[in-house]
Amino acid sequence: MATSRRVAHEPAFVLHRYDWSESSLILEVFTRHHGRIALVAKGAKRPSSNFRPVLLPLQPLQLAFGGDAEVRTLKSAEWMGGHVMPTGDALMSGYYLNELLLRLLAREDAHPALFDAYAAVVQVLGTPQDPASQQAVQASALRAFELLLLREIGFLPDLDAQTSTLAPLAPGGRYLLLPETGLREAGEDEPASIGAEGWQSLQRALADHAPFTRTLRTVAELSPGASGALRSQLRQLLHYHCGVAQLRTRQMMRDLQDL
């Protein structure tokens, strides 16, 4: 429910922006204490506007806003610094995260822990990496965030039990995470599975007091086969709950790779 009181010093990220008039913008922003909200930035397109160089995606901001309508009015915006804008594949990965949040988060539903995880992923994407390990580090960060996002909004079952029976995972068993059935035992003709120990380690990481850091490390320690299986199964789960066969940013990344 919208509130008429003014909010100040609110940590936030811009997820999307589009024209509202000749001089103003509508912003979709992810805030730490108020969730995803819509703001109008009046005059933001004018060359003299203080908003113009600040309202960029994947940059940590501190906002003040007010109003009692569904679209509130942005009063001030300050860049909080910390890292540069991601570029190349990292930039596209950031846009992918933003699309997930826009599709899956309800308006004005606060998720402080998820906000902190998002800020941590953006930090990873904006930090220069060793070229030899950059792709692996960024991929692990994306998988960790996908897991935390699905858990936070209630779309991820417990990963240490079979979803339909709640039976514990059998030592040495192999399991699949599927949109319709949750976590179930894999058949002999289903090779893209993950061992019970892998799923259990991910469950423990998600329950840690520092879930993003622990989950990032756990994902990075998976074998190449398990890492690929996790990526595929999380993608199916996300597409299912987003209601699409392909996310726009994923399709754009594939098109760019084809070029």
Q: Which of 95-99, 114-118, 166-170, 186-190 has the lowest mean pLDDT?
A: 186-190
**pLDDT score, position 128:** 81
pLDDT-based confidence at 52, cuts 50/70/90? confident
**pLDDT score, position 26:** 97
Instruction: Please classify residue 198 by burial: count the beta carbons closer than 10 Å to its beta carbon, then call 0-12 exposed, 13-18 middle and 19+ buried.
Output: buried
Q: What is the pTM of this model?
A: 0.92
Q: Which of 159-168, 199-208, 238-247 has the lowest mean pLDDT?
A: 238-247
**pLDDT score, position 249:** 76
The residue that leads in pLDDT, 129 or 214, is 214
**pLDDT score, position 1:** 44
Q: What is the mean pLDDT of residues 170-198?
A: 93
In this predicted structure, the answer to whether residue 55 has a pLDDT above a threshold of 90 is: yes
Q: Any idea what the Cα angle at residue 128 is, between residues 221 and 98, rounded to 5°?
A: 75
Q: What is the mean pLDDT of the chain?
A: 92
The 10s digit of each residue's pLDDT in 220-242 is 999 999 999 999 999 999 999 99
**pLDDT score, position 43:** 95
In this predicted structure, the answer to whether residue 258 has a pLDDT above a threshold of 60 is: no
In this predicted structure, the answer to whether residue 252 has a pLDDT above a threshold of 80 is: no
